[in-house]
């Protein structure tokens, strides 16, 4: 019997990852509960189980009294004469251990003990499942579409089922039973019926985790994904940065002939992905984020988190995108509210002309000399690139202007 018990415990530990120690503790508690049901109390009852052989002993600790007439509670006390049969040198007031034959327990007590053990096994199984998936929270797993529950979908993750709610489904996707999909676990709840696992196909982190699994440089930290903006099922923009100057972050994510990014696009069922270079300068970052549109210049306000962007007339619709998607994703990616105008529109729009940002006494950059070096670290046009002229009289102003012009030419 003991050998069979050990084999059963080994099988539980292997299949359900329930430790033998927790089952031994459950058996001990079940025997104590059986004693309580049989004798009415079990405060002085002890159970020991040998972890190697599964041999067990159930006994009660009883206080020795002078005679049988002095025994007020036979569950707690024992006469001296009876105690000496167990322990020859027993004295009045000593505590002796009296073995209890568990076979004497009634059917109800045995059934209750069995239920205690089964309940402990179920609790341990739920705890193991919860811990397993709680560790995978904020990560992706592969599951199999099982069935529709109303408008929600049940996903089989192997040892547990996950719930893909309607709000976390991509509208353009049509998942069918037996389809294999990768999902992002965004929350795991512990309930009395087991772990409740909530997954998503729309979460931006799903794209990040897919790049980590597909791109070695992202996984080892050489390339960082700084920001993600996603409209699930349609388009995603990600900004990447390389911690190694010899590694091109965009090239690493795209892969040879687009192999890496194409694998991710396939997993996302054809969702387009734009990969841009991250830059601490918000002006350059916004210009990159509006890719594939070309940008003439960007004026960014770091405090207000707003930016004014001028693009060529032929690039306006491309910069805005279909139904404003390109501009909307660029705004989410950068955190700036972006206002875009064409060169023609900018001529008559206050705040969209470079001259709006200089006083009349300041020298301007001539047309065609504008480049990214005009930005300072905060994304503003750098005042160090322009020489201010204090006007005292016409003669001195003209001389200072000529000196500035000569220095610029040099």
- 209 has pLDDT over 90: yes
- 397 has pLDDT over 60: no
Question: Which one is predicted more confidently, 397 or 67?
Answer: 67
The CATH number given to 138-201 is: 2.40.50.140
pLDDT band with cut points at 50, 70 and 90 for residue 357:
low
Tell me the percentage of the chain whose pLDDT exceeds 70: 84
Quote the CA–CA distance of 161 and 157 in Å, as a whole number: 6
Q: Which of 18-32, 246-260, 295-309 has the lowest mean pLDDT?
A: 18-32
pLDDT of residue 268: 94
CATH 3.30.300.20 domain extents, the chain: 203-278, 279-410
- 103 has pLDDT over 80: no
Q: Which of 12-16, 162-166, 327-331 has the lowest mean pLDDT?
A: 12-16
- 371 has pLDDT over 70: no
Quote the CA–CA distance of 258 and 193 in Å, as a whole number: 45
pLDDT of residue 194: 83
* Residue 377 burial class via C-beta count within 10 angstroms: exposed 0-12, middle 13-18, buried 19 and up: exposed
pLDDT of residue 75: 82
Average pLDDT over the chain, rounded to whole? 83
Instruction: Work out the average pLDDT over 169-195.
Output: 92
Which has the closest alpha carbon to 133: 170, 202, 188, 70?
Answer: 188
pLDDT of residue 373: 53
pLDDT of residue 229: 96
Question: Which one is predicted more confidently, 152 or 59?
Answer: 152
pLDDT of residue 47: 85
Question: Which one is predicted more confidently, 351 or 291?
Answer: 291
pLDDT of residue 393: 45
CB 236, CB 205: distance < 8 Å: no
pLDDT of residue 106: 65
pLDDT of residue 135: 92
Quote the CA–CA distance of 184 and 201 in Å, as a whole number: 6
- 206 has pLDDT over 80: yes
Instruction: Work out the average pLDDT over 342-357.
Output: 80
Question: Which one is predicted more confidently, 14 or 382?
Answer: 14
CATH 2.40.50.140 domain extents, the chain: 138-201
pLDDT band with cut points at 50, 70 and 90 for residue 42:
confident
Q: How far is CA 400 from CA 238, 362, 365, 397, 403, in A?
A: 48, 12, 17, 5, 5
- 86 has pLDDT over 60: yes
Does the domain made of 203-278 have the CATH classification 3.50.50.60?
no
Question: Which one is predicted more confidently, 93 or 218?
Answer: 218
- 290 has pLDDT over 90: yes
Topology of domain 2-130 in CATH is N Utilization Substance Protein A; Chain:P; domain 4 (3.30.1480)
Instruction: Work out the average pLDDT over 162-184.
Output: 94
Instruction: Work out the average pLDDT over 270-277.
Output: 95
pLDDT of residue 220: 94
- 364 has pLDDT over 60: no
Q: What torsion, rounded to 10 degrees, do the Cα atoms 258, 261, 266, 269 define?
A: -130
pLDDT band with cut points at 50, 70 and 90 for residue 376:
low
- 38 has pLDDT over 80: no
Tell me the percentage of the chain whose pLDDT exceeds 90: 48
pLDDT of residue 213: 94
pLDDT band with cut points at 50, 70 and 90 for residue 11:
confident
pLDDT of residue 208: 95
> At 400, which helix (H) or strand (E)?
helix 394-409
pLDDT in tens, 215-225: 999 999 999 99
Is residue 228 helix, strand or coil? Answer: strand
Question: Which one is predicted more confidently, 386 or 148?
Answer: 148
CATH 3.30.1480.10 domain extents, the chain: 2-130
- 214 has pLDDT over 80: yes
- 175 has pLDDT over 60: yes
**Token output for 119:** 């309940």
Question: Which one is predicted more confidently, 87 or 230?
Answer: 230
DSSP for 53-122? T--EEEEEEEEEESSGGG-S-TTTEEEHHHHHHH-TT--TT-EEEEE--GGGS-HHHHHHHHHHHHHHHH
**Token output for 47:** 């159970």
Does the domain made of 279-410 have the CATH classification 3.30.300.20?
yes
């Amino acid at each position: 019997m003991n050998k069979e018990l050990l084999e059963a415990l080994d099988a539980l530990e292997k299949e359900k990852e329930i430790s033998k120690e927790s089952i031994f503790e459950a058996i001990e508690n079940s025997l104590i509960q059986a004693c309580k049901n049989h004798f009415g109390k079990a405060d002085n009852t002890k159970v020991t189980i040998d972890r190697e052989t599964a041999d067990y002993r159930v006994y009660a600790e009883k206080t020795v009294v002078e005679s049988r007439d002095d025994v007020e509670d036979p569950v707690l006390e024992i006469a001296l004469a009876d105690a000496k049969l167990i322990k020859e040198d027993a004295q009045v007031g000593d505590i002796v251990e009296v073995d209890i034959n568990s076979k004497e327990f009634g059917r109800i007590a045995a059934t209750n003990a069995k239920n205690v053990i089964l309940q402990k096994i179920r609790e341990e199984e739920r705890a193991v499942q919860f811990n397993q998936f709680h560790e995978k929270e904020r990560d992706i797993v592969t599951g199999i579409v099982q069935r529709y529950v109303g408008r929600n979908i049940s996903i089989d993750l192997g040892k547990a089922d996950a719930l893909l709610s309607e709000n976390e489904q991509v509208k353009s996707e049509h998942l069918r039973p037996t389809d294999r999909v990768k999902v992002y676990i965004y929350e795991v709840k512990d309930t009395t019926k087991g772990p409740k696992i909530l997954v998503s196909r729309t979460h931006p982190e799903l794209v990040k985790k897919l790049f980590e699994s597909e791109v070695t440089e992202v996984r080892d930290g050489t390339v960082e994904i700084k920001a993600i903006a996603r409209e699930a099922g349609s388009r995603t923009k990600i900004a990447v940065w390389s911690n190694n100057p010899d590694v091109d972050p965009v090239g690493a994510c795209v892969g040879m002939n687009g192999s890496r990014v194409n694998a991710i696009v396939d997993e996302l069922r054809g969702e387009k992905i734009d990969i841009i270079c991250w830059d601490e300068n918000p002006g350059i970052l916004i210009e990159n984020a509006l890719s594939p549109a070309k940008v003439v210049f960007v004026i960014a306000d770091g405090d207000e988190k707003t930016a004014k962007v001028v693009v060529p007339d032929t690039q306006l619709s491309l910069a805005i995108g279909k139904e404003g998607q390109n501009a909307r994703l660029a705004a989410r990616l950068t955190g700036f509210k972006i206002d875009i105008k064409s060169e023609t529109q900018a001529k008559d729009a206050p705040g969209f002309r470079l001259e709006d940002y200089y006083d009349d006494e300041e020298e301007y950059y001539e047309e065609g000399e504008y480049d990214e070096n005009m930005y300072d670290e905060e994304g503003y046009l750098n005042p160090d690139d322009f020489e201010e002229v204090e006007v005292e009289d016409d003669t001195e102003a003209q001389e200072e202007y000529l000196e500035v012009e000569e220095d610029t030419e040099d």
